[in-house]
Amino acid sequence: MFLPKKKHILVLNVGSTSIKSRVFSFSGRKEKEIFTWSKNDIDPKNGHQKYFGELLSDLKKNNLFEKINAVGHRVVHGGMIKGSSLIDEKIEKIIKENEKLAPLHNPYNLEGIRTIKSWWPKGVKQVAVFDTSFYKTIPSFASTYPIPLELSKKYQIKKLGFHGISHQYVANVTARLLKKPLFKLNLITIHLGGGGSITAIRNGKAVDTSMGFTPLEGLVMGTRSGDIDPGIIFFLARKIKKSLSEIEKILEHESGIFGLCQAKNMLELIEKYQKKDPAAILAFDVFTYRIKKYIGAYYAILGKCDALVFTGTVGAGRSLTRRKITRTLKNGVLKNTKVLVVKTNEEKMIAEETDRIVKN
């Protein structure tokens, strides 16, 4: 009897303050998660290398290091790259070039790629799975910004979208739950964690999303402002005499939920909210109001919606957030729409993509 050879794929999801890693075993069409490892609350000032060393040690202890056939990486900003790609010098250069557009992600994604190179000097195939790839189907009228067209073309400025790996995974799972092919479904998927995004999916393909040229656009997030009047930037530059890089830091790291009520995460926000802290009540109301606005807009774009799907640590976490968002919508746009909660699994999606690319 012929037994298919097993393939072991290591997945590395490196963020500014975390490392998540899993190993998946592939045998024919079957896949199985056989190893999971994570480290949170990393101080980016001290670097990630100590923790990469711990991961390497644990892989060896579990007799997995020598079995790894390929490594898949989550990479947030892929610029104009259309899909998952084998990593070579050209791909590394593109990831590096986009660091300024995703400063909380790309530098650390690249650090993970270079660390893997040092582990396997003779080479193990590495695949970059981009958050931006899922959004290549967004039509030009939805992805084009109304700035001078020559600037858009010269600097490749357009809506790119992020969290695509999560939204794609959740859409696939939703299709299975509803027992319908994905290409026959219209969905609105909402990923809420430290960052947040919402995506409109028509016939299985993304047609709009809240994040844009950078992950700063869109919903109110943990420390990111999301949508604001761009005139505020110039107003602040004049009023508080800050440089553009200093204002960028404010919008990336000191705004959002934290800027409104000093809550360090959503759990702390909810605790403050339930204690009727006025600033927390305002922050929670602003947060959920923006999400409801996007749901209404995307429902108008889609015409009909088969399911509204929540995911992410916040979206799939406590029901308080979901109830607050959907309460006033159930007799309106959500009257004939299912509301689902699907736990995301970006690492599984990355492993499947890595397996597909390595096979080709």
Statement to judge: residues 184 and 117 lie in one domain: no
Confidence of residue 246 (pLDDT cuts 50, 70, 90): very high
Identify the domain boundary among 67, 99, 130: 130
pLDDT at 332: 82
Statement to judge: residues 185 and 321 lie in one domain: yes
131 is catalytic: yes
pLDDT at 1: 39
Statement to judge: residues 327 and 208 lie in one domain: yes
| Mean pLDDT lowest among 14-18, 93-97, 252-256, 269-273 | 14-18
Tokens linked to 128: 């970059």
Region of residue 231 (phi > 0: left; psi between -120 and 50: alpha; otherwise: beta): alpha
Tell me the percentage of the chain whose pLDDT exceeds 70: 98
Q: Are 160 and 77 in contact (CB under 8 A)?
A: yes
Residue type, 94: I
CB atoms within 10 A of CB 263: 23
**Separation of alpha carbons 329 and 326, rounded Å:** 5
pLDDT above 50 (res 3): no
Is pLDDT larger for residue 149 or for residue 123?
Answer: 149
Is 238 a member of any domain?
yes
For residues 330-334, give the mean pLDDT. 82
Rg (CA), the chain: 21
Catalytic residue among 43, 58, 88, 131: 131
Is 357 a member of any domain?
no
The half-sphere exposure of 8 on its side-chain side, counting CA atoms within 13 A, is 14
Is 149 a member of any domain?
no
Is pLDDT larger for residue 49 or for residue 2?
Answer: 49
For residues 27-31, give the mean pLDDT. 80
Statement to judge: residues 332 and 269 lie in one domain: yes
Nearest to residue 221, comparing CAs of 270, 134, 274, 283? 283
For residues 188-194, give the mean pLDDT. 94
What mean pLDDT is reported for the chain?
93
For residues 240-255, give the mean pLDDT. 93
Phi, psi of 286 (to 5 degrees): -65, -45
How much helix, strand and coil, in percent to the nearest 5, is found in the chain? 45, 20, 35
Confidence of residue 2 (pLDDT cuts 50, 70, 90): very low
Identify the domain boundary among 130, 162, 190: 130
Is pLDDT larger for residue 54 or for residue 121?
Answer: 54
Is 162 a member of any domain?
no
CB atoms within 10 A of CB 117: 15
Structure confidence by residue, pLDDT tens digits, 277-313:
999 999 999 999 999 999 999 999 999 999 999 999 8
Statement to judge: residues 25 and 103 lie in one domain: yes
pLDDT above 70 (res 102): yes
Residue with tokens 């809506």: 159
Phi, psi of 152 (to 5 degrees): -55, -45
Tell me the percentage of the chain whose pLDDT exceeds 90: 81
Identify the domain boundary among 130, 154, 188: 130
pLDDT at 333: 83
pLDDT above 70 (res 342): yes
Burial of 144 (0-12, 13-18, 19+ CB in 10 A): middle
Q: By residue range, what is the domain housing residue 196?
A: 180-341
CATH number at residue 23: 3.30.420.40
**Separation of alpha carbons 38 and 19, rounded Å:** 6
- What value, to the nearest 5°, has the Cα angle with vertex 220 and ends 217 and 226? 20
Statement to judge: residues 81 and 223 lie in one domain: no
**Separation of alpha carbons 258 and 33, rounded Å:** 35
Statement to judge: residues 113 and 186 lie in one domain: no
CB atoms within 10 A of CB 329: 17
Statement to judge: residues 333 and 189 lie in one domain: yes
| List of E strands, the chain | 6-14, 19-27, 30-39, 68-75, 85-86, 125-130, 187-192, 196-202, 205-209, 307-311, 338-341
**Separation of alpha carbons 272 and 24, rounded Å:** 40
| List of E strands, 243-351 | 307-311, 338-341
Is 50 a member of any domain?
yes
Structure confidence by residue, pLDDT tens digits, 199-223:
999 999 999 999 999 999 999 999 9
Statement to judge: residues 205 and 92 lie in one domain: no
Phi, psi of 33 (to 5 degrees): -80, 125
Confidence of residue 40 (pLDDT cuts 50, 70, 90): confident
pLDDT above 50 (res 41): yes
Is 164 a member of any domain?
no
pLDDT above 70 (res 274): yes
Statement to judge: residues 71 and 189 lie in one domain: no
Is 191 a member of any domain?
yes
Query: What string of DSSP letters covers 187-254?
Result: EEEEEESSSEEEEEEETTEEEEES--SSTTSSS--SS---S--THHHHHHHHHS---HHHHHHHHHHS
Nearest to residue 21, comparing CAs of 31, 8, 30, 2? 8
Q: Are 288 and 325 in contact (CB under 8 A)?
A: yes
pLDDT at 121: 77
Nearest to residue 256, comparing CAs of 220, 212, 215, 216? 220
Q: How many domains does the chain have?
A: 2
Statement to judge: residues 208 and 331 lie in one domain: yes
Statement to judge: residues 210 and 331 lie in one domain: yes
**Separation of alpha carbons 324 and 189, rounded Å:** 17
Structure confidence by residue, pLDDT tens digits, 58-80:
999 999 999 999 999 999 988 88
For residues 157-177, give the mean pLDDT. 96
pTM for the full predicted model: 0.90
Is 350 a member of any domain?
no
